[in-house]
Amino acid sequence: MPTEDKAALLMLCSTLSLSLTGLVAKFLTSEFSLLTLLFLRLFIPAVLMLSVVASIKIVLPKKNLMKPILTRSVCVVGCQICFLTSLTQLTLVESVVLFATGPLFIPVLEKLFFGTAIKRVVKVALTVTFIGVILMTSDGSSIHFKPEMLIGLGAGMFNAGSQLSLYRSSKGDMSASATNGWSFLFSSLLVLPISLWYGLSDADRVILAAPIESWVSWLALLVLALVTMSNQIFRSKAYKLAESNSQLAPLIFTHLLFTLVWQLTFFDAEVTQEKVLGVVLIVVASLMQTFISKREKIPKLKLKSCR
């Protein structure tokens, strides 16, 4: 199989895993309380990833990497709180689409923290995105503002912060599994005191008291952890095989198509034309920013290669 096809296949495996995280998380929001689910959703993947790393060699984060890793941990907590909350209030497709707006917020955060200028294409893409969000609030006859949409956008914003922190931490000599493992572990430790403060819900106590009878919930948690890991592994391998990021950029949004399949298969939710148009606008806005930004960077890359 050609290298390009292998890279594309690995990216599709990554986006399939990403769509499954939303599907399984949607199921688990009805099984656990939000804070308990948030802790388990972060702690179990952390233990698995660090166990894999420790089986080869124990890697502790160095001092120069602690700041970006801790920053990412905070962003991961914020992202997952917003995402899981939106899953309880919105449809699976709506929550995942709003989560996928993360790349659009990266230039905004770079402007706030690093003073980087926001390009015109980003401003246009953000405008189109918010129009899409408004259309997603339509019930077919009129538009109703949903605060839950802003929570979903919060997941995208925190996801952008997580990606920026991950980019900085990737400049070190730690592997992706170690970086993600420590980030998730610190995130779970941040959530633990809050979870203990609010305590367990009745549903949590039933599942914890009878783990054998609640094996479906525990199996779902394990599956959630595994698909979280596989998403990172498949994506990193795909990027290593690809000649450029733009080669795989269009495939990143296939997780929305997978999510739509899960929505239509497992959930009984009305999908109006306005909501479909809103989803399309958000995807177009993300693709617009991705491709135009890549195109603008090509001349700079060529100049560097000639030196």
The whole-number pLDDT of residue 298 equals 41
Model confidence at 303: pLDDT above 50? no
161 found inside a domain: yes
Mean pLDDT of the chain: 80
Question: φ and ψ at 142, to 5 degrees?
Answer: -150, 170
Model confidence at 160: pLDDT above 70? yes
The whole-number pLDDT of residue 269 equals 67
Q: Decide: 118 and 61 in contact? Cβ < 8 Å.
A: no
Angstrom distances, CA of residue 258 to CA of 164, 165, 220, 243, 252: 26, 28, 18, 25, 11
The whole-model pTM stands at 0.81
The whole-number pLDDT of residue 94 equals 83
The whole-number pLDDT of residue 15 equals 87
- Of all residues in the chain, what percent are helix, strand and coil, respectively (each to 5)? 80, 0, 20
Longest CA–CA span in the chain (Å) reads 66
238 found inside a domain: no
186 found inside a domain: yes
The whole-number pLDDT of residue 43 equals 93
Map tokens 């992706």 to a residue.
176
Q: Averaged over 27-40, what is the pLDDT?
A: 91
Q: Averaged over 143-148, what is the pLDDT?
A: 70
Q: Decide: 20 and 227 in contact? Cβ < 8 Å.
A: yes
- Of 101, 166, 164, the C-alpha closest to 131 is 101
The whole-number pLDDT of residue 222 equals 94
Q: Decide: 90 and 40 in contact? Cβ < 8 Å.
A: no
27 found inside a domain: no
Which burial class, exposed, middle or buried, applies to 165 when counting CB atoms under 10 A from its CB (0-12, 13-18, 19+)?
Answer: buried
Q: What is the pLDDT of residues 79-117, one digit of tens each?
A: 999 999 999 888 888 888 888 877 778 777 877 777 777
252 found inside a domain: no
The whole-number pLDDT of residue 247 equals 61
Model confidence at 60: pLDDT above 60? yes
Count structural domains, the chain: 1
Give the Cα separation of 283 and 261 in Å (integer).
16
Q: What is the DSSP letter of 214?
A: T
The whole-number pLDDT of residue 39 equals 93
Q: Residue 302 — pLDDT band, cuts 50, 70, 90?
A: very low
Q: Decide: 82 and 154 in contact? Cβ < 8 Å.
A: yes
The whole-number pLDDT of residue 25 equals 93
In this structure, what token pair is assigned to residue 189? 């430790």
Model confidence at 276: pLDDT above 90? no
The whole-number pLDDT of residue 254 equals 79
Q: Decide: 121 and 115 in contact? Cβ < 8 Å.
A: no
Q: Averaged over 139-151, what is the pLDDT?
A: 71
Q: How far apart are the two ends of the chain, measured CA to CA in Å?
A: 35
Contacts by residues 266-269 (CB-CB < 8 Å, ≥ 24 positions apart): 266/23, 267/26, 267/91, 267/92, 269/91, 269/92, 269/93
Q: Any bridge partners for residue 143, and if so which?
A: 138
Does 300 or 289 have the greater pLDDT score?
A: 289
In this structure, what token pair is assigned to residue 95? 């929550």
301 found inside a domain: yes
For residue 82, give its domain range: 38-219+272-305
Q: What is the pLDDT of residues 171-186, one digit of tens each?
A: 667 777 788 888 899 9
The whole-number pLDDT of residue 237 equals 77
Model confidence at 198: pLDDT above 80? yes
245 found inside a domain: no
127 found inside a domain: yes
The whole-number pLDDT of residue 40 equals 92
